[in-house]
Structure 1
Amino acid sequence: MIELKEENIEAVLEEAINTILPRNSRLVSITKKVESIDPLSFYDAAKQLRTERQYWSSTAEAYTLVGTGCAFEITAKKDRFETAEQEWNKLLNDAVSNNPYDVPGTGIVSIGGAAFDPEKEKTELWENFEPIRFTVPEFLLTEYEDELYYTVNIMVREDDHPRQLANELKEVEEQLFKEKVQTASDTHIVGRYEVSPDLWKQTVKEATEEIKQNKVEKIVLARELRLKLDREADSGNIIRKLLDTQPNSFIFSFERGKDCFIGATPERLVKIRQNNLFSTCLAGTAPRGKTEEEDARINYHLLHDPKNRGEHDFVVQMMKKAIENYCTDIDIPNEPVVYPLKNLQHLYTPVTARLKKGSTILDIIKNLHPTPALGGTPRKESVAFIREHELLDRGWYGAPVGWLDNKENGEFAVAIRSGLIQGDEASLFAGCGVVKDSDPEEEYEETDIKFLPMLSVLGGPE
């Protein structure tokens, strides 16, 4: 990658264009610091460009990425993580970057995700979402440590005109940073349809029989809740409500065509900063209490419940095994703690390590996904059962979503507590870990609890 220090955008474009090989193109990335703007105002303004938008926020760290447009796209069907890595490196090799800031998520950033199981037959529900897709946004706003950075990414060719491109980019910038756009009204749920609940409970029973025959230790089964809304949902409005109601979560939104995959997940898969790895083991779930005393009782029971502790330990052991070939200085506490959210509480164990030279965040993701919290144990056998017996196409639900940049920073979460918005309809997804003693009714009730975060922001009960 070529680093340029020229401050004038037209001069940067001119130098990049003048050094392009005949009949080639290259990515030019230009980053600058900007005055204060609400990232969601930027997101709302981007809707007028009629391009796909991406949103990522780590609420606990006040870190936000908002992207719109597509300067470059990476997709793959086979060997998807390896192919994505190759295409990403190929893009960076000839790219030109003008970014004077050592800030994660600035410069050349790729935002996206992957399907839970690319071998599962794809349904019409997820027709707009590829097995893996990363987008380098044309226009990117980054909020980091109370500072804001604006990045333009543009593919240029030898016959492009620098001044014309600079003027066009300036016009878009003015549109994105103009006064706040009026937001849409809240939606209300006017209809709901549970997809085959009795058949789902029967599948849970079949999974327990599979486990009792010692073919597998744990299987995670998900189900779908289909909603009808009183109007077309606005993703910016949903993000606002998720930010208000789901602290300590990762808020994400990915538009594809007229569809939008959106949610607030508490489960980090992996974060890389300057080769330092941070991850999360999050498995074992209970509701919040209505009083402090009830909440404390539920907390205690969760922390001492054999089923939830066993489920959590599956994840901890898998995490250690998945990263040990790529990391040094691995630190995993012996005991979990309880991690409270607004509607739910989970067993939580943090993980830290040091990434080995030559290893990448996509290496880690490939080995971590799917975690026992979303697939089961052993991985191959549990996912095979899900593929054959589960009643839905998960699409991107339960899979990695996040971002990476050209300085080897990145962060991915597991896309749970999520929904696929399609105009005035939505599909919500929730899963539970089935073990040999699982009761279908209790597992059904657990998934009902997990629907609450998305139901509440779409106009349902809190």
Structure 2
Amino acid sequence: MESPPRDGQVSAEPTGSNLVSRACKLPDCDPRAFLAGRDAPRTYWTSPYGPEFAGGGTAARVTADGSDRFDAVREAAEELFDGHDFDGPDQARPRLFGGFSFHDDHRPAPPWLGFGAAEFVLPRTQLTRANGETWLTVSARDATPEAVEHELTEVSEALTSTDESATDSRRDGPPGVVATNSTTTREEWAEQVAAAVSRIEAGELRKVVLAQALAVELADEVSVPDALARLGESYPDCFRFCFEPTTEAAFFGATPERLATLRGRTVETDALAGSVGRGDTPEEDAELEASIENSEKMAHEHELVVETIREQLSPIAGAVRVADRRVRKLATIQHLWTPVEADLTDDGHVLSIVEALHPTPAVGGLPPEKALQTIRETETFDRGWYAAPVGWFDAEGDGTFAVGLRSAVTGDRSATLFAGNGIVADSDPDEEYEEVQLKYRPILDELEDD
């Protein structure tokens, strides 16, 4: 029987394709073990609101760069899915997984080797867990349906074999942290915040989000599938993701912030800005919650985000609904949170929503152009995909993207962590510095030995 080709490549330039996908139901399969058994590129995604996905290998890849990268990815994906031959249930349909860099002129360089300005992969093998069921999907370009069905049978038999299933119970521990080195000292940070506040007081800015990077030397290599499993135990209410385009680097994290979900014509997004730590006792935790709810500075910072999301969605939505502000509690931090929904006036694509919203004031600032300029002039490291859209979309243009926060890029025995904070007129450099250190904890805790 003919074997399907082992790789597919779709650039942002239109190219013809013959994409074939087949799916079958499996007994429950541990996504950690599935990922551990796959070669790069590897992808992972799960959210509090929807399915869990794990992917390995490449059926097709879509890349783009420059200011039109969102349109270029969408157009290339539409051509890829044109005439797609898929025989399977809706929940097992193939998706493109990936994301974008924060700045549109990003170029891959350490630690971001393999990460372009826009990079998406349609996995050769995709594992989907949804509604209590587990599905395996195999996709290939320019292959016969019979060849894809044959490969599907081979992969499903391997996954359900006694030997491979036994790996489900094995998990490596954290790699251990040898040393950490911040790109920004406390003194440098104070100078950066003071300069930003001066611009705000002069009327150039309303808000800017400044970030730091933490270089971490590890005692061993990171097992990203195991790190994701541990993050799932500590942060089940977050979006967990991994994108590993090559064997040289992987970007993963557990972010609390959804950028956009599109289902049909319904858009869902979150305003998440203003944060404080968790207390050691219920009483202390309640006091901290009250402090964030009553803080004029944090309320101002948060409302800037809500206001901007409403403005960004209004041109394409017939109605924008803003829920009441509340506090969202996570394991080590709590945030001011406002869910937002909108109804599109016409059929749309999630990438159009993502382009309209990125970067939100929660990771960029206001006005956007001045904030981006300030970030470029101030930060001494490459954000890469940090604070940028990461997620998935399907042939219909539906999908979900989160903001790549509480994240790290890792390769060999090193990792680079990222965290930032919104700076407004009354920001205190010391308080902002401590809040940034708190935001490292979700990933740093999963890297340190117990």
| Residue 146 (1) aligns with residue 136 (2) | no
Distance 1:114 1:445, change over 3 A: same
Hey, what does 1:239 align to over in structure 2?
228
| Equivalent in the alignment of 1:203 | 192
The aligned amino acid for 1:384 is: Q
Match of 1:43 in 2: 35
- Is contact 1:116–1:399 with CA below 8 Å preserved after alignment? yes
The equivalent of 2:10 in structure 1 is none
d(CA) in 2 for partners of 1:460 and 1:383?
37
* Deviation of the 1:389 alpha carbon: 1.6
**2: CA distance, partners of 1:146 / 1:222:** 39
What residue identity is the alignment partner of 2:333? Answer: L
Q: When the two structures are superposed, what TM-score results if normalisation uses the length of structure 1?
A: 0.89
1:170 aligned to which of 153, 156, 169: 153
* Cα distance per residue 1:201-239 (max 9 Å; x no partner): 321111111111110111100001111111111001101
* Aligned equivalents of 1:420, 1:287: Cα separation in 2: 24
Pair 1:96–1:220, CA change in 2 (3 A):
same
1:428 alignment partner AA? L
> Do the aligned partners of residues 460 and 214 (structure 1) sit closer, same or farther apart at CA in structure 2, a change above 3 Å counting?
farther
The alpha-carbon deviation at position 93 of structure 1 amounts to: 1.4
Looking at structure 2, the residues matched to 131 and 457 of structure 1 have their Cα atoms a distance apart, in angstroms, of 28
The offset of 1:443, in angstroms, is 1.0
CA RMSD of aligned residues (A): 2.0
For residue 232 of structure 1, give the secondary structure of its aligned residue in structure 2: coil
Report matched runs for 1:45-444 at 5 Å.
45-46=37-38, 50-58=39-47, 60-61=48-49, 63-78=51-66, 79-99=68-88, 101-103=89-91, 106-119=92-105, 123-156=109-142, 166-177=149-160, 178-181=164-167, 182-197=170-185, 198-257=187-246, 258-333=248-323, 335-444=324-433
- Following TM superposition, by how much is the alpha carbon of 1:275 offset from its aligned partner in structure 2, in angstroms? 2.5
| SS of equivalent to 1:438 | coil
TM-score, normalised relative to structure 2: 0.91
Tell me by how many angstroms 1:298 deviates. 0.8
Structure 1: how far apart are the matches of 2:251 and 2:90? 30
- 8 Å CA contact retained: 2:96, 2:122: yes
What's the secondary structure of 2:346's corresponding residue? coil
Q: How many Å apart are 1:401 and its aligned residue?
A: 0.3
CA distance 1:25–1:336, shift in 2 (3 Å): closer
The answer as to whether partners of 1:41 and 1:180 remain within 8 angstroms in 2 is: no
Give the whole-Å Cα distance in 2 for the aligned partners of 1:95 and 1:237.
34
Deviations 1:359-387 (A, max 9, x none): 21111100100000000011111011101
Q: Which residue does the alignment assign to 2:9?
A: none
Task: Identify if the C-alpha distance between structure 1 residues 252 and 51 changes in structure 2 by more than 3 Å, giving closer, same or farther.
Answer: same
Question: By how many angstroms is 1:72 displaced?
Answer: 0.7
Cα offset for 1:175?
Answer: 3.0
Q: Structure 2: how far apart are the matches of 1:211 and 1:254? A: 36
Contact 1:316/1:349 (CA < 8 Å) preserved in 2? yes
Q: Are the aligned partners of 1:62 and 1:143 in contact in 2 as well (CA < 8 Å)?
A: no
For structure 2, the 5+ residue unaligned runs are 5-14
| Residues 338-377 of structure 1: CA deviation (Å, up to 9, x unaligned) | 0000000000101112233232111110010000000001
User: Is 2:439 aligned against 1:453?
Assistant: no
Partner in structure 2 of residue 28 of structure 1: 20
* 1:331 CA displacement: 0.9
Counterpart of 2:8 in structure 1 is none
Shift of 1:456: 0.6
Alpha-carbon distance, 1:405 to partner: 1.1
- 1:95 aligned partner, one-letter code: H
Report the CA distance between 1:163 and its aligned residue: 5.3
- Work out whether residues 286 and 345 of structure 1, in 8 Å CA contact, stay in contact via their aligned partners in 2: yes
Q: % of aligned pairs identical?
A: 34
Letter in 2 for 1:292: P
Offset of residue 119 of structure 1:
3.0
2:52 match: secondary structure:
strand
CA contact (8 A) 2:138 2:148 kept: no
SS in 1 for 2:370: helix
8 Å CA contact retained: 2:181, 2:214: yes
